[in-house]
Structure 1
């Protein structure tokens, strides 16, 4: 698989969130075939732009492009 830039991976993550609204980090890594470094770098990019929200539930990180009540923003 071709190595993509952080921005390209951020775009891929954003497109998945447009379809699914909320997804776990594990599901996202599997769906996009990303390792944890590539995925969390892209999430950091989106967080810096204040485009995503996260929450932790039962040890799993959930990410969303909409802000549910129990999610937090990085900015």
Structure 2
């Protein structure tokens, strides 16, 4: 399960790396993840200090 979350975090990181800042709804569409999977991946990235939530959405630090 941990490896699976890491792979999903990689998908989220790649999407944010390409599109810079995205709202949650757009991240779900671009990564083809379920909402729960997306938030697990974002939690993983946030714990590593790699993402932040802004007024417009999520972005890489």
- TM-score w.r.t. length of structure 1: 0.72
CA RMSD of aligned residues (A): 1.5
Structure 2: gaps (5+ residues)? none
Aligned residues: 59
- Runs of 4+ with >4 A deviation: none
Of Structure 1 and Structure 2, which has the larger fraction of its residues in helix? 2
The corresponding residue for 1:10 is: 9
Of Structure 1 and Structure 2, which has the larger fraction of its residues in strand? 1
Distance 2:60 2:28 in 1: 16
Pick the aligned partner of 1:63 from 44, 52, 58. Answer: 58
Partner-residue secondary structure (3-state), 2:58: strand
